[in-house]
Structure 1
Amino acid sequence: MRSGAKVALIGGVFMLVAGGVGYGAYNVVGGGGEDGGPEATGTSSEVRTGPPSDAETARTSKEFLKAWAAGDATAASLLTNNEAGAAPLLTGYAEDAHVTRAVITPGPAVGAKVPYTVKATVSYQGRTKTLSYASELTVVRGLTSGKALVDWEPTVIHPQLTEGATLRTGWSSAPEIEAVDRNDKVLDKETYPSLAPVLATLREKYGAKSGGTAGVETWIEPADESAPKTTLLTLAKGRPGKLRTTIEAGAQAAAERAVKQYSQASVVAVKPSTGAISAVANNPVTDFNAAMQGKQAPGSTLKIVTAAMLIEKGFVSATRPVECPKEVLYEGNTFHNLDYFSLPDTDTFTTSFARSCNTAFIKKIDEVHDDSALGKEAREVFGIGLDWKTGIFSTDGSVPEAVGGEAAAQYIGQGTVQMNALNIASITATARTGTFHQPVIVPQSLDGRQLAVASRSLPPHVTQQLNTMMRATATWGSGKAAMASVGGDKGAKTGSAEVDGQGVSNSWFTGFSNDLAAAAVVQSGGHGGDAAGPVVAAVLRAGS
């Protein structure tokens, strides 16, 4: 792409038509048009300050849109506050996106913002189609020149363009896919919105393996080569290939409905016996799949791993009493239970787990005598940090080495522990069977990729005790209300994670029913059973 080059549009017509800004219609190919005034030509010696006036906003936006409509990347980029960033995208609008005709219609300015619609004709190798969309620009004061300029953002060209991304038209690099669930039900982004980024990635990775043929498309090519492309327009359809996933449509539909109850929520469901991902949903839906790519403290849901470690080392058992004071001091750090509750010294570890007693776990750290023990347990048994290859982009959690109070915080899922809903669902699935099965969303047989394998399974007596404690949590502990509607052999663990600068903690919940495990997080949702719990329960009811 040639930065700043003026585009010659042979036989093409770019037009700027009348809108709310207050100027006439132009057919501007070949130049011409009104004079922009002294400021537009740069002849004024006055360096102005302060926000642009309404007149400056109208004049600058008109001249910019007129230059863009004329295909004059040089003139248009000079009217922005970032000529170097604007010129390649403005040039590429014709050269790379193959737009041969564009009608840009401005709307009334709102302060310094000017909205507009674009009706672009895209032509490629004899195929033509219209791409219509709306965007807006903002006029600002140049820091050094004092001139009114368009504040350059890639979204000026198209609202979905991000930094470093480009707009292109051509033969698609990967054929379209017809993704189906494990029972051959078609999965589309209209019915299952959360799957939009998942399906885009699956197409990029496996479209060529699915047996389909490529079509002609206009797409956004992201700066990150590993990220999926976003198709904006299909000029000629290819033949989609069939791609089977591990998703179960009923569970996916329930997950989609459940997360919509909250402004920020994620949920994932996994089959303990195989690691197959049954559902993944987020609200809001963005290119970033928070349920599988997020990184944040999971709160007390991580006590599943801590409990497994403590039982394996013989420091606790499900039936032995443990201390649960209202607070405990460890290396200068004070830890307390929710609302400072305490339990009688005669109560068992199962009660502390089911009631989510933080201090019962913290008090055991001195007996372990190994600040890295929790991280080892997470990696060796639960597969955390083993480079999962799920079939799409995902992060596989981390429990970094820590000492002192930071290590103690990790015991209750705080501090430097980083997890997402996928990781916690997998931890629950591992606790259910005692053996880690790396989560997958497409079968390993599709591409022969190497799946992560944990170095060991849990001893049977540890697995049995974890299931006993999780069943207690679901039937009479902190997860009782959320899990009341879930049938089958069920278990749960609640969690809430405090975040610096956030008034309400994040709500975490994980549970299982028969051969399905699920985990959810609701940002600023408070107690785990109150917000994330019903999300998990809805998925378990539908999928187990």
Structure 2
Amino acid sequence: MRNGVKIGIVGGAFVVVAGGVGYGAYNIWNGLNSSDGGGSTDTAQAAPARTGPPTADEISGAAKGFLAAWAKGDADKASQLTNNAADSQPLLAGYRADAHVTRVTLTPGAASGTKVPFTVKATISYEGKTKPWSYTSSLSVVRGLTTGRALVDWDPSVIHPDLKKGETLTTGEAESAPIKAVDHNGAELTKEKYPSLGPVLDALRQKYGDKAGGKPGIETYIGAADSSDGTASSDSPAPAKTLLTLSKGTPALLHTTLDAGAQAAAETAVKKFSESSVVAVKASTGEIRAIANNRDDAFNAATQGKLAPGSTMKIMTATMLINNGLAAEKSPILCPESVTWQGQTFHNLDNFSIANGTMEQSFARSCNTAFIKPVGKLNDRGIADTALPDTAKKYFGIGSEWNVGIPTFDGSVPKTTGPNTAAAMIGQGLVQMNPLNMASVTATARNGAFHQPVIVPGSLRAGDTATAQPLPANTAQQLRDMMHTTATAGYGTGTVAMSGVGGYKGAKTGSAEVDAQGKSNSWFAGFSNDLAAAAVVQSGGHGGDAAGPVVAAVLAAGS
């Protein structure tokens, strides 16, 4: 097919069409080149370099010139109209060579400041299969640092809004076979019905589509620059993302541990708070029942995030104190307004204190100082920097490599020194967790023994499953009692959020401070009968205010 360009006005909109166009295209393109923001003519190069923000005319001209060159298939010219020719040229060239786009119409919309939205209507042809493809994207125009010209501020998302640096746009046989995922009761799980399952289903397809007996189809997809099975850690490349299906493959039936009812509740709950994530697991087995996120970046923070968990960490800290004989549920424990450890002072919320209180009361009211003061006694024994990491790994599986079935970050409670040792006791400092980790911690407290979270049957998951020792029976009972008090007593920080949750229930709230962030991250962990869940809402404030309602909604749905 001949490559050319035709430009005109349709319904008041500037339109660029490439592929199979006729006479006169060259003259129209030349006219664009002479605009302030457009091309690379001798006149434009000789003009004095401009400064300051690009004008409206420059923004329009730069956008039109770039889109015209892109539509024509002239990757070299289009890349020179960006502020990063080296990075943009391969992707622009690959739009035809790798994605097999044979015809494209680009229609700019009205600029908003320096941002110009546009629609894409394309045709993709591959090995005799042809299909239309349409989507929307946008570009921004900036002043070139050296030339002073108005240029497109390059980002891969210009090509497609889902495309990121290091990724490729390809049409061909899919990297893996499609799947038909079903929950533990056989109900089908789709991205359309459960949108935040998108990254999870993509990861499951990449890992198990071929293993479960499926056959790949022909697709246009976004793939990572380097291949990987994507299951080892959050640092693995993301699984391929299908944008268009030219011919369907044979889907593999994949059974998961998810629960459609709990997933639906999780999807609805996270929509109420931006930058929120939640995970629910069956406490007695570790089977994941729900995973949901509501984030601008589409990152699966529920299983791959790395954030300080705040006072939800006190579930593990309490375990460590009980096991070392430094505290007990009904024993007295000091809860002053503040406490200092190795030069750093730690405070309770609003500097509250509890006179003649017990560990149960300090846990339920989330007293920070009560869980930091015993560090001195641990230090006297020479285990202050290791007691919490050892407890996290020995009983909760944190620090082991999990084999869940999808990419996960498996929590980190590192050995520490100085003030970080005290900060770790209340889930700050160097401790990093995500909702999957804290849902598992909660499930361990509820069940009395760690069961590594899983999302597919063991027969599919290659490799070992992480294990840990059961909690001492007396310790587990004290944890359940204190969490139950937190969720039911008038002074418990989780009582309001858990008020609508039935069954035998427990909770722990958390607020994690983040440098240069106005509001703390809201954390909440809870259980009802055999279902445990944890959530985080970034910049959500107190644990019970944002993350609490998310967890409660999922627990109320049951499983």
Question: How far is the alpha carbon of 1:11 from its aligned partner?
Answer: 5.0
Residue number in structure 2 paired with 1:360: 370
Verify: 1:522 aligned to 2:537, yes or no: yes
Letter in 2 for 1:471: H
Q: Which moved more, 1:394-403 or 1:149-158?
A: 149-158
Q: Which moved more, 1:522-531 or 1:423-432?
A: 522-531
Structure 2 gap segments, 5+ residues each: 228-236
Verify: 1:444 aligned to 2:458, yes or no: yes
Q: Distance in 2 between matches of 1:91 and 1:30?
A: 24
Q: Distance in 1 between matches of 2:178 and 2:4?
A: 32
Question: How far is the alpha carbon of 1:389 from its aligned partner?
Answer: 1.7
Residue number in structure 2 paired with 1:219: 221
Verify: 1:433 aligned to 2:444, yes or no: no
Residue number in structure 2 paired with 1:3: none
Letter in 2 for 1:243: L
Verify: 1:513 aligned to 2:489, yes or no: no
Match of 1:72 among 61, 71, 74: 74
Residue number in structure 1 paired with 2:231: none
Letter in 1 for 2:224: P
Q: Which moved more, 1:44-53 or 1:292-301?
A: 44-53
Describe the superposition over 1:67-112 as per-residue Cα deviations: whole angstroms up to 9, x where unpaired: 2222122222222222211211111111101111112223334443
Letter in 2 for 1:127: K
Letter in 2 for 1:249: A
Q: Is contact 2:510–2:523 with CA below 8 Å preserved after alignment?
A: yes
CA separation of 1:318 and 1:517: change in aligned 2, threshold 3 A: same
Residue number in structure 1 paired with 2:179: 177
Q: Which moved more, 1:138-147 or 1:50-59?
A: 50-59
Q: Distance in 2 between matches of 1:135 and 1:393?
A: 29
Q: Which moved more, 1:101-110 or 1:440-449?
A: 101-110
Verify: 1:40 aligned to 2:55, yes or no: no
Q: For residues 65-104 of structure 1, what are the structure 2 equivalents within 5 Å? A: 65-104=67-106
Q: Distance in 1 between matches of 2:177 and 2:245?
A: 12
Residue number in structure 2 paired with 1:49: 50
Q: Is contact 1:40–1:60 with CA below 8 Å preserved after alignment?
A: no
Q: Is contact 2:3–2:73 with CA below 8 Å preserved after alignment?
A: no
Q: Distance in 2 between matches of 1:485 and 1:329?
A: 39
Question: How far is the alpha carbon of 1:24 from its aligned partner?
Answer: 8.8
CA separation of 1:150 and 1:502: change in aligned 2, threshold 3 A: closer
Q: Distance in 1 between matches of 2:150 and 2:538?
A: 40
- Size of the aligned set, in residue pairs, is 533
Q: TM-score normalised to the size of structure 1?
A: 0.93
CA separation of 1:531 and 1:152: change in aligned 2, threshold 3 A: closer
Question: How far is the alpha carbon of 1:516 from its aligned partner?
Answer: 0.9
Residue number in structure 1 paired with 2:261: 250
Match of 2:436 among 414, 418, 422: 422
Verify: 1:459 aligned to 2:476, yes or no: no
Letter in 2 for 1:350: E
Q: Which moved more, 1:283-292 or 1:426-435?
A: 283-292
Q: Distance in 2 between matches of 1:254 and 1:111?
A: 39
Residue number in structure 1 paired with 2:351: 340
Describe the superposition over 1:213-239 as per-residue Cα deviations: whole angstroms up to 9, x where unpaired: 211111111335331111111111112
SS in 2 for 1:67: helix
Q: For residues 373-392 of structure 1, what are the structure 2 equivalents within 5 Å? A: 373-392=387-406
Question: How far is the alpha carbon of 1:188 from its aligned partner?
Answer: 0.7
Structure 1 gap segments, 5+ residues each: 1-9
Question: How far is the alpha carbon of 1:416 from its aligned partner?
Answer: 1.2
CA separation of 1:412 and 1:45: change in aligned 2, threshold 3 A: same
Q: Is contact 1:520–1:532 with CA below 8 Å preserved after alignment?
A: yes
Q: Is contact 1:28–1:70 with CA below 8 Å preserved after alignment?
A: no
**Seq. identity, %:** 58
Residue number in structure 2 paired with 1:210: 212
CA separation of 1:32 and 1:402: change in aligned 2, threshold 3 A: same
Question: How far is the alpha carbon of 1:205 from its aligned partner?
Answer: 0.7
Describe the superposition over 1:274-327 as per-residue Cα deviations: whole angstroms up to 9, x where unpaired: 111111111126441011111111111100101101111111111211112222
CA separation of 1:220 and 1:430: change in aligned 2, threshold 3 A: same
CA separation of 1:113 and 1:522: change in aligned 2, threshold 3 A: closer
Match of 2:330 among 319, 323, 328: 319
Verify: 1:193 aligned to 2:195, yes or no: yes
Q: Is contact 1:15–1:104 with CA below 8 Å preserved after alignment?
A: no
Match of 2:550 among 513, 516, 535: 535
Question: How far is the alpha carbon of 1:206 from its aligned partner?
Answer: 0.6
Residue number in structure 2 paired with 1:18: 9
Q: Distance in 1 between matches of 2:15 and 2:135?
A: 21
Question: How far is the alpha carbon of 1:29 from its aligned partner?
Answer: 8.4
Letter in 1 for 2:147: S
Describe the superposition over 1:466-485 as per-residue Cα deviations: whole angstroms up to 9, x where unpaired: 11111111110221111122
Q: Which moved more, 1:436-445 or 1:299-308?
A: 436-445
Residue number in structure 2 paired with 1:5: none
Q: Distance in 1 between matches of 2:14 and 2:24?
A: 23
Residue number in structure 1 paired with 2:427: 413
Question: How far is the alpha carbon of 1:495 from its aligned partner?
Answer: 1.2
Q: Distance in 1 between matches of 2:525 and 2:8?
A: 56
Q: Is contact 1:21–1:58 with CA below 8 Å preserved after alignment?
A: no
CA separation of 1:527 and 1:212: change in aligned 2, threshold 3 A: same
Question: How far is the alpha carbon of 1:177 from its aligned partner?
Answer: 0.6
Q: Distance in 2 between matches of 1:357 and 1:140?
A: 51
Question: How far is the alpha carbon of 1:126 from its aligned partner?
Answer: 0.9
CA separation of 1:30 and 1:157: change in aligned 2, threshold 3 A: farther
Question: How far is the alpha carbon of 1:163 from its aligned partner?
Answer: 1.0
Q: Distance in 2 between matches of 1:479 and 1:519?
A: 13
Letter in 2 for 1:32: Y
Letter in 2 for 1:529: G
Verify: 1:290 aligned to 2:301, yes or no: yes
Residue number in structure 2 paired with 1:7: none
CA separation of 1:111 and 1:353: change in aligned 2, threshold 3 A: closer
Residue number in structure 1 paired with 2:248: 237
CA separation of 1:490 and 1:111: change in aligned 2, threshold 3 A: closer
Letter in 1 for 2:46: S
Question: How far is the alpha carbon of 1:142 from its aligned partner?
Answer: 2.0
Q: Is contact 2:405–2:461 with CA below 8 Å preserved after alignment?
A: no
Residue number in structure 2 paired with 1:138: 140
Residue number in structure 2 paired with 1:149: 151
Cα-Cα RMSD: 2.1
SS in 2 for 1:146: coil
Verify: 1:279 aligned to 2:290, yes or no: yes
Question: How far is the alpha carbon of 1:522 from its aligned partner?
Answer: 1.5
Letter in 2 for 1:74: D
Q: Is contact 1:272–1:433 with CA below 8 Å preserved after alignment?
A: yes
Q: Distance in 1 between matches of 2:115 and 2:537?
A: 34
CA separation of 1:188 and 1:21: change in aligned 2, threshold 3 A: closer
Question: How far is the alpha carbon of 1:434 from its aligned partner?
Answer: 2.3
Question: How far is the alpha carbon of 1:447 from its aligned partner?
Answer: 3.0
Describe the superposition over 1:172-220 as per-residue Cα deviations: whole angstroms up to 9, x where unpaired: 1211111000000000111111101100111111110222221111111
Q: TM-score normalised to the size of structure 2?
A: 0.91
